[in-house]
């Protein structure tokens, strides 16, 4: 017969052991639960070394491995009015705390903005999609192993993203790094939702102590992250209304289909008029430090009837500016295959 009392005691002992191992004493870490956007901005402004926590999936990994050690955490998951998916005459509006699984399941999104639903469905695993927020997905840290190497292993890499002067991937293991746009840092933006939103001309609403601003998502990313200041946070994602004849696709290649970030992702939104491409947005993920909008691929299809030949030409144009590193030239053929498939499907 199973000794339930023993099992219960064992579970509690293991939980206490984990807390003792990973918990940071309150004297080293201040924790606040924000109740409003204004309160969150105030707390971020008051504490220079504060980090935002919402779903916490990426942040807790970085803290556990001691890649980052914030002294203040501001929980915005306690702000009730940041979870929503609505639509009006102007288009779609999504609260930053809306989970990826809610985006995947939304009838509005599946019906009219299917590109977002496709991308959401391919984010990690269901358990993670239930926790990760759209804001967190857009702002997650890169998955570069040089950046994430834990100091507790006895070796760390003071790379560009940590304020150093070296990208260790250039002469190291760069299998999953950038083939386009790499300069100082060759780590890639691994968000699935960013290319999809960018292909739909999304905008980002940002709150700060002095103002509220709305910027195109295309201006949100930088080669070393994003433009958010320590005292700013995303308060809404906005997607303009789409024409009903806009074709939308998101395709992704990864090694483990159950969980991995994209080795290459392709988001395409193509509007047809009289059988020809009136407007195209083709955005690549996993190949550059930012979501990469391929103007060359867009120009290759605009004004033309989509054929296998045109799609092949656009696919080749999509990687025309690529400069692969020593171990990642294989991404070229994957990118071309996905771009072609996204255009003709």
pLDDT of residue 14: 54
pLDDT of residue 19: 44
pLDDT of residue 13: 54
Chain segment 18-47, per-residue pLDDT in tens = 445 544 444 578 999 999 999 999 999 999
Q: How confident is the model at residue 114 (pLDDT cuts 50, 70, 90)?
A: very high
Chain segment 184-220, per-residue pLDDT in tens = 999 999 999 999 999 999 999 999 999 999 999 999 9
User: In degrees rounded to 5, what are phi and psi of residue 184?
Assistant: -75, -45
Chain segment 249-258, per-residue pLDDT in tens = 999 999 998 8
Chain segment 53-103, per-residue pLDDT in tens = 999 999 999 999 999 999 999 999 999 899 999 999 999 999 999 999 999
Q: How confident is the model at residue 11 (pLDDT cuts 50, 70, 90)?
A: very low
Distance between CA atoms of residues 267 and 116, nearest Å: 9
Contact yes or no for 17/9 (Cβ under 8 A) = no
User: Average pLDDT of the chain?
Assistant: 92
Mean pLDDT of 128-144: 97
pLDDT of residue 233: 97
pLDDT of residue 1: 42
Examine the pLDDT at 177 and tell me if it is beyond 90: yes
Q: How confident is the model at residue 5 (pLDDT cuts 50, 70, 90)?
A: very low
Examine the pLDDT at 298 and tell me if it is beyond 80: yes
Q: How many residues does the chain have?
A: 345
Q: How confident is the model at residue 158 (pLDDT cuts 50, 70, 90)?
A: very high
Strand ranges inside 115-245, DSSP E? 203-207, 212-216, 221-222, 225-226, 233-240
Q: Which two tokens stand for residue 60?
A: 């807790």
pLDDT of residue 258: 81
- Domains along the chain with CATH numbers: 4-78 (3.30.43.10)
DSSP summary character for residue 125:
-
Nearest to 198, CA basis, from 86, 336, 294: 294
Angle separating helix axes 308-318 and 330-344, nearest 10 degrees: 140
């Amino acid at each position: 017969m199973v000794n339930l009392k023993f099992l219960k005691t064992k579970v509690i002992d293991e939980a206490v052991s984990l807390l003792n191992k990973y918990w940071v004493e309150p004297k080293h870490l201040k924790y606040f639960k924000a109740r409003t956007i204004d309160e969150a901005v105030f707390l971020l402004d008051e504490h220079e070394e504060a980090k935002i926590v919402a779903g916490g999936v990426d942040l807790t990994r970085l803290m556990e491995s001691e890649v980052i050690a914030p002294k203040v955490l501001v929980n915005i998951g306690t702000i009730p009015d940041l979870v929503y998916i609505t639509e009006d005459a102007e288009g779609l509006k999504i609260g930053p705390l809306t989970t990826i699984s809610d985006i995947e399941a939304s009838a509005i999104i599946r019906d009219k903005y299917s590109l977002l639903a496709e991308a959401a469905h391919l984010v990690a695993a269901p358990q993670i999609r239930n926790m990760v927020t759209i804001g967190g997905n857009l702002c997650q840290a890169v998955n570069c192993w040089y950046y994430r190497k834990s100091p507790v292993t006895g070796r760390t890499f003071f790379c560009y993203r940590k304020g150093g002067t070296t990208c260790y991937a250039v002469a190291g293991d760069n299998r999953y790094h950038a083939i386009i746009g790499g300069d100082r840092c060759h780590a890639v933006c691994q968000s699935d939702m960013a290319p999809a939103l960018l292909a739909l001309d999304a905008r980002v609403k940002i709150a700060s102590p002095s103002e509220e601003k709305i910027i195109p998502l295309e201006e949100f990313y930088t080669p070393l992250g994003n433009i958010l200041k320590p005292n700013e946070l995303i308060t809404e994602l906005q997607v303009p209304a789409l024409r009903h004849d806009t074709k939308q696709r998101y395709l992704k290649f990864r090694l483990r289909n159950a969980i991995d970030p994209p080795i290459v992702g392709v988001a395409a939104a193509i509007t047809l008029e009289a059988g020809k491409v009136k407007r195209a947005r083709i955005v690549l993920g996993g190949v550059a430090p930012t979501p990469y909008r391929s103007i060359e691929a867009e120009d290759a299809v605009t004004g033309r009837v989509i054929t296998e030949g045109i799609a092949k030409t656009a696919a080749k144009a999509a990687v025309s500016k690529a400069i692969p590193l020593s171990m990642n030239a294989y991404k070229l053929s994957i990118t071309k295959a996905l771009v072609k498939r996204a255009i003709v499907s």
